[in-house]
Chains A and B, each alone.
Chain A
């Protein structure tokens, strides 16, 4: 075992990379849940985004087009969920599960023939001056565009929810859909848009894994990150900035765990690989004491009878 082989600067830099898919998926789901919808299909939308992005990036040679395709793929899949839960008024838990099962199958089907290919590499951002700073430059300012896109989306969601009229309406729909309906807001339409946004975010998060983080395509490669993203929203008490904090926390656990594996710590690999999931459970237990911040209409079916 040689812990000195772990470079703290690289560790922090890779933490930001490891956290990004989680961040994207979780902030999307946060918006969905703020609108009062519980979409358990994050894992399915992520993996679909992962393969859509991968396939388009490989075929066009342009990773940015890949990311766009991933967002579109995730959104199209989430549209299925939206139709089921908002139009056909199906149970959200069951529909979300179905979405995950379906997405895993769909991605495996599309992904045939893409195994073992390297995608075109993503351009790294290089800001003159900032990127050359001694320690901070490596940690903060020399990542790919997607890392900053994730941060921008978090900031945007925070601003929208807190300071804009649209955010207020979204929250109203999530807190009390009957009242929002009585005020004349289109509950179903607003929720549909939120679900599509969540799907696009999850898709991009998936593409980040297949295009940048791994970068490769293997079946089921998201390995539960979508589910951790769901847990993260609970951890964050439905607050965007805490999603950021949580994503970095989990990213950190993943990175440290991988580094420990590489350093050859005396703990078997399998037990180290369990740690992100176990820590998620632990965090859920700690955070579940406070349920007050959950949107009041979360998971409830809305049917406009009048």
Chain B
């Protein structure tokens, strides 16, 4: 009979092996799913994971890796801080939307003035907007002990309605012939989050994501705050004795996650998306949760996981147009990845033992 036995210490090997095993298992299960849908599984997997990087049209897709990976990494880095401490902010999608609205709002307010200071102001507004939106669950949690999971999630729906109201009302393009959606920020040089090197996909959001990774790495390994975050997550009682202020930790973790998500939204709306429209958000805020876990809540892991997840987005789009694979199949594929990861993760803390049933 197989029995789980708790390891005295988490296995170092499995910490890094688990995501790899999970990805392979997902590929196998995903292949079976695609086969069920009547597609050749090998071709589908190759289209998703290989073609965006190495096919003859890869030069077109590779920049997309950065474009799609940057918001995922940016949001996931913020989320990972809270997840480490057992603070569950799952409303990053809402913070992303509000950040985008605030950033775009500042940009649109200055239209058609030109100036170097407009874009930095927009970045700050985006970060502030996301921060403020995340402060709602944070303050409610600190003041009243309200469950931050549910509040932050509810605020996603509120933010979506706010976005709809803005796209149809206040921020609607006055020269847009009555169509919903704001002015195109790509055509407004001072507010445009343009590619820094043409054709590379490298925009300011990518730079911000890199900075966030380094910043988070230093924070978690070298700074007392990072130590407090890890301590609270791993041993809450010990953290209390060590004098960690839980309220402060909640405010900081949720605040940072919100600011990063808001910035991600702002970079997206002023760059790749271009304008505030009803459906400009595509669920990065939720996918980032998978990215954070797949990256083991570690900054470098998140960077790799973000790129991998971006790959599934791009490959998914290719598979959609070339093989007619439904978009939902990709969404399911990403969900499966999280499942397999959580399942394989048991090996990190437990080991399998073959035992004979003993007399109780």
Chain A positions near chain B (C-beta within 8 angstroms): 40, 80, 83-84, 88-91, 93-95, 97-98, 101-109, 111-112, 219, 223-224, 227-228, 230-231, 234, 268, 270-271, 273-274, 277-278, 280-281, 284-285, 288-289, 291, 303, 305
Contacts and interface: CB of A to CB of B under 8 A. Distances in A.
Nearest to A110: B328
Given A101-B338, A102-B338, 6 more contacts: A93-B149, A98-B338, A111-B328, A227-B153, A234-B147, A270-B161
Contacts of B350: 89, 303
B153 A102 contact: no
Contacts of A271: 161, 165
A144 B136 CA distance: 40
Contacts of B336: 102
Contacts of A230: 150
A280 B335 contact: no
B157 A288 contact: no
Nearest to A224: B157
B141 to A, nearest CB: 9
A284 B146 contact: yes
6 closest A-B pairs by CB: A102-B335, A105-B332, A108-B328, A105-B331, A270-B165, A90-B342
A278 B88 contact: no
B339 A80 contact: yes
A90 B157 contact: no
A231 B154 contact: yes
A105 B334 contact: yes
A16 B295 CA distance: 45
Contacts of A288: 140, 144-147
Given A89-B4, A234-B147, A109 B338 contact: no
Q: Size band of the B side of the interface?
A: 35 or more
B48 to A, nearest CB: 15
Contacts of B153: 224, 227
A89 B145 contact: no
B238 interface: no
A224 B94 CA distance: 13
Contacts of A90: 342-343, 345-346
A242 B80 CA distance: 36
A84 B333 CA distance: 17
A94 B331 CA distance: 17
B154 A227 contact: yes
B158 interface: yes
A111 B332 CA distance: 13
Given A94-B342, A98-B335, A274 B144 contact: no
B236 to A, nearest CB: 12
A15 to B, nearest CB: 21
B208 interface: no
B209 interface: no
Contact of A112 (B140, B146, B147, B328): B328
A101 B290 contact: yes
A291 B6 CA distance: 31
A97 B343 CA distance: 14
Contacts of B149: 40, 93
B81 interface: no
B158 A289 contact: no
B174 interface: no
Contacts of A104: 331, 335
A91 B348 CA distance: 13
B342 A98 contact: yes
B15 interface: no
Contacts of B328: 105-109, 111-112, 219
Contact of B286 (A101, A228, A270): A101
Contacts of A219: 328
B342 A95 contact: yes
A108 B326 CA distance: 9
Given A105-B332, A109-B329, A274-B158, A281 B151 contact: yes
A109 to B, nearest CB: 4
